[in-house]
Structure 1
Amino acid sequence: MLVSPSGPTLPERVARGIELLESWGLRVRVGRHVFDRDGYLAGHDDDRLRDLNDAFEDPAVRAVVCTRGGYGAQRIVDRVRFGAPKPLVGFSDITALQLAVWRTGGWPSVHGPGAAWFDDRLPATSAASLRAALFSSGPLCSYTGENEETGAVSVPGPPVRGVLLGGNLAMLASTTGTVDMPDFSGNIMLIEDVGEAPYRVDRMLTHLRRAGAFDGVAGVAVGQFTNCVGGGPTTVVDVLREQLSGLGVPVLGGLRVGHGVGQETVVLGAPAVLDVNVGCLTSRVTDEIGNSAAAG
């Protein structure tokens, strides 16, 4: 079932996403309020919430796919009835819901493209990565991209294991202090973002550090920081290097995870391995995800 918990979407983008999902043998249901619009929100809070709760509570729905991010998930997250475990697919603002899924039941979720599909940003490799997360039971491997800006952000160290948690940096920072903020101790933190000036990235990372989010973290996976410019000569890479290099743990940048071209899918709330030496983040697709989607 497709839902729009955050910002408004375009029917033609969603039509392309439906075409892709149906080509994989999935039956797609569209939530009643998917195409609603209320300013920067995809309709009123109660309507977005109703679609989301319907999707999670309907036993016939095997996966919940968000059309896009934007803004709005945090306005309704405290009233979501997550029901039985099933894959929640999305990224960006959807990080707020994925953190709540983990806090509520320790269930994995899929950090990947939404149903509002952008062919110019998401090539065949992006589609294959999302499909693998929904249908396979093996590992998903995301390697550093040769032309990725954050590839310059790296702290060497041995391979580390832990549950992969996090997602969009702005959502992670704004979740600090709420019941949904996860414990990163012994786990791997994933961060990515879009349209944030370097000083704002600095502020968010500083806030996370002061709040103790990095205490005991096993490693940090750095995805795409897309269009994160402005505010002076300091670059987002400068900020990431300064903030992360002193943590004393391996840091791997350059991952095609986030808002950039060639976005790859990873599984949050699942066992993962971060290996700086080979430039790879591996997240394990769990039976809950593979079996749920394949049964649909």
Structure 2
Amino acid sequence: MAVNRRQFLTISLTSLASLTYLSQPVMSANSSIIKPKRLKAGAGVGLISPAGATFIKEDIEIVKEAVKSLGLIPYTAPHLLDKYGYLGGKDKDRAGDINQFFADPNIEILLPIRGGWGCARILPYLDYNLIQKNPKIIIGFSDLTALIIGIYAKTGLVTFHGPNGFSSWRTEQVDSFKQVLFLGNKVTYKNQPDGDDANRLMTVKNRITTITPGTAKGKLIGGNLAVLSGILGSPYVPDFKNYILFVEDVGENIYRIDRFLTHLKIAGILDKLSGFIFGQCTNCLPDADYASLTLEEVLEDHIKPLGIPAWSGAQIGHLENIITFPIGINVEINANQGTITLLESAVN
């Protein structure tokens, strides 16, 4: 097909813009990080809906009750109860709520009501210069993976993989939240024993499976595998060199987990890591229509050849208790014991 000069110029400028877009600086393992202030009693909590819609007022009241029980003060975003299809409002409005709360001196932590889908859509509308100049805690899991990794990659701000507002807030979850965000402790994470195993001769639940033994150090990063796969190739991920990656998922067929890990592999991400942790894959079943690999076989295929310390079965995922993990903090892992140890406080 013949291309005239005007078409050629348009194609060239479009290609250049794409290259410029994808080559924006992102966080590397050696880049400096920004830590938010630790929480204190009376701190303001900005309640946001950056992903799925929250349109039942009682849900908001339940989350407010949990926030107040933590000794914190809830503030509701202007568009908290908006609904645009399955989204919590239009993209620019949801991003605007986040920008507004980062600029608000009364707010110390941004807490999403729930996950769902939509955080990746608002990444282009966030004011990263504003966020970088006003570092605050932002936390969440599942679809919030895009938001916490995107903000970290673009600003260097330590973010947190942890509970959404509508999580369970049971004792173990609350304790982890306080240890990391209020006290700034250098905690060690490991699977907790299940009560059903107390009367058994062996451990059946909450087991870890070592894929490759050993210890490793690096900056911790991770979240939902499907969401992470969806933002690869954008300016909203770091370069992953010498990072320790943890992933989890829910409701995916095994072949889709294989697909996501293959994406990480051919994108060159897996080869850069110093360690790997696979959490829980809740309701991840083989495809009923044809023969399937097991999840164990998929992990052996993709992770074992890397030769880096790695294990599966960590208590990370869509669980009753959502533990708080900092994104961007130096940790040491032990794949034999299934432990993650923070080497520094995640907050100032």
Kindly tell me: are residues 73 and 155 of structure 1, through their superposed partners in 2, closer, same or farther at Cα, counting changes over 3 Å?
A: same
CA contact (8 A) 2:216 2:333 kept: yes
Q: Which of the residues 106, 116, 130 maps onto 2:156?
A: 106
Among 250, 271, 278, the residue aligned to 1:222: 278
Within 5 Å, give how 1:1-296 maps onto structure 2. 1-9=46-54, 10-82=56-128, 83=131, 84-118=134-168, 123-145=170-192, 151=207, 153-232=209-288, 233-283=292-342, 286=345, 289=347, 291=348
The alpha carbon displacement at 1:87 in A equals 0.9
TM-score (norm 2): 0.76
| Letter aligned with residue 35 of structure 1 | L
Residues 193, 224 of structure 1: 8 Å contact kept: yes
Deviations 1:40-69 (A, max 9, x none): 111121221221111112122111111111
Tell me the alpha carbon deviations over residues 112-141 of structure 1, each in whole angstroms, 9 at most, x when there is no partner. 1111133xxx53101211222220111232
After superposition, what is the alpha-carbon deviation per residue over 1:145-181, rounded to whole angstroms, capped at 9, x for unaligned?
A: 5569784542243221110012111111111110112
Give the TM-score taking structure 1 as reference length. Answer: 0.89
Once the 2 structures are TM-superposed, how far is the Cα of residue 74 of structure 1 from its aligned partner?
Answer: 1.0
Aligned length: 286
SS at match of 1:115: coil
Could you tell me how far 1:216 is from its partner in structure 2? 2.7
Distance in 2 between residues matched to 1:153 and 1:172, nearest whole Å: 23
Distance 2:277 2:59 in 1: 29
TM-fit CA distance, 1:206: 0.4
> How far 1:279 moved relative to its partner?
1.8
Residues 140, 40 of structure 1: alpha-carbon distance in 2 compared, 3 angstrom cutoff: farther
Residue 21 of structure 1, CA deviation: 2.0
**Rg (Cα) greater in structure:** 2
Amino acid paired to 2:140? G
In structure 2, distance between residues paired with 1:262 and 1:5? 22
Q: Is the partner of 1:29 in helix, strand or coil?
A: strand
Q: State the percentage of identical aligned residues.
A: 34
Structure 1: state its 5+ residue gaps: 292-296
Aligned-partner residue type, residue 52 of structure 2: G
Q: Which amino acid aligns with 1:64?
A: L
Aligned residue type for 2:173:
S
> How far has the Cα of 1:248 moved from its partner?
0.5
> For the structure 1 residues 226 and 271, does the alpha-carbon distance in structure 2 shift closer, same or farther, using more than 3 Å as the test?
same
Measured in 2, the distance between the counterparts of 1:263 and 1:256 equals 9
Equivalent AA in structure 2 for residue 180 of structure 1: Y
- Cα displacement string for residues 68-98 of structure 1 (whole angstroms, at most 9, x for unaligned residues): 1111111111110142211111011111111
CA distance in 2, matches of 1:28, 1:95: 23
SS at match of 1:215: helix
Instruction: State the shift of 1:203 in Å.
Output: 0.4
* Whole-angstrom CA distance in 1 between matches of 2:140 and 2:308: 28
Instruction: Give 3-state SS (helix, strand or coil) of 2:75's partner.
Output: coil
CA–CA separation in structure 2 for the residues paired with 1:203 and 1:241? 14
Aligned structure 1 segments of 4 or more residues deviating by more than 6 angstroms: 147-150
Structure 2: 5+ residue stretches without partners: 1-45, 195-203
RMSD: 2.1
CA pair 13-285 structure 1, distance change in 2 beyond 3 A: farther
